[in-house]
Structures are given as C-alpha cells and as structure tokens.
Amino acid sequence: MLKQFREFAMKGNVVDLAIGVIIGAAFSKIVDSLVKDIVMPIIGMFGSADFSNYFIPLSKAVTASNLADAQKQGAVLAYGNFITYVVNFLIVAFALFLVVRGINRLKRDEAAAAPAAPAAPPRQEVLLSEIRDLLASK
C-alpha cells in the first residue's frame, strides 16, 4: 500500500503542488496584510484614512457614512473594496511574475551549462569502423 502511495505521489509532482498551495495560502495572507495595513493607508492619505469605506449609494434610503451600515440600509457600490482587491491582485501577480521569470532564467542557465552532444564522427571513420567489424567477424 505504501509503495502505491509513493508511486501516486510522485506522478505529476503532487507533493510539489501541495507545497505550492500551502505556501500560496500563507503568501496570500501576507499580501492581504501588506495591502490592508501598508499600501491602502498610504493611498488613503490622498483621500481619507479608511479607503475601504468608499462607496456610492444606489438608493435614496442609504444615509450612513460607513460601508457596513450603508449595506444594511440598501444597495451600495463598494468601489473602495474593489480597488483594495485590485491592488492585492496586482501585488500577487507581480510576485508570481518574478517567480516564473526567475525559474525560467535558472532553466536557461542550466541549458547553457549542459555539455553539448558529441559531434558525429566523420564519414571516413564510420566506414573504417564497419570494415574493421567485418574483418573481425571473419
């Protein structure tokens, strides 16, 4: 049973995939904190300190000044949250771009460092080898 599990786990790099998912989840939390606690307050300096409370009421019944209360009163367009998620996505996409670029660079360096295949022997040597083999077989 253990042998079958090992064979299954090694097919298609399942272990690598699992590790990637776990690291991705942890990285997502780091990026969420970066966006929420560092990037958005800096962007919010140009408007207000709480960027996630930017919204447009879609109903005249909405009179609240913060997003949570406004959503209870009626429909709102929470564009502040959307901008936060877009910044979050851009940071993750840029980090993944750098990772893929680094991996491609390493693969390219490995391919360049690999020794070239030996050149085929000249036609004369091939013919001489065949003659030698024929004489040896007699």
Would you say the pTM of this structure is higher than 0.85?
A: no
8 pLDDT higher than 70:
no
Written in H, E and C, the secondary structure of the chain is: CHHHHHHHHHHHHHHHHHHHHHHHHHHHHHHHHHHHHHHHHHHHCCCCCCHHHCCEECCCCCCCCCHHHHHHHCCEECHHHHHHHHHHHHHHHHHHHHHHHHHHHHHHHHHHHCCCCCCCCCHHHHHHHHHHHHHHHC
Looking at the structure of the chain, the number of domains it has is 1
Contact at 8 Å (CB) between 74 and 61? yes
Q: Is the pLDDT of residue 129 over 60?
A: yes
Decide if 66 is inside a domain: yes
62, amino acid identity: V
- Please check whether residue 132 lies inside any domain of the structure: no
Residue 124 to residue 126: CA distance in whole angstroms: 5
Answer yes or no: is 95 within a domain: yes
Question: Domain span at residue 31?
Answer: 2-117
pLDDT, position 5: 57
Give a yes or no: residue 26 inside a domain. yes
Q: Is residue 123 part of a domain?
A: no
Is 129 within a domain?
no
The residue-averaged pLDDT of 109-125 equals 79
Q: Is residue 32 one of the residues assigned to a domain?
A: yes
Q: What is the CATH number of the domain that holds 76?
A: 1.10.1200.120
- The pLDDT mean for the chain works out to 79
| CA 35/CA 82 separation, integer angstroms | 12
Position 138 in a domain: no
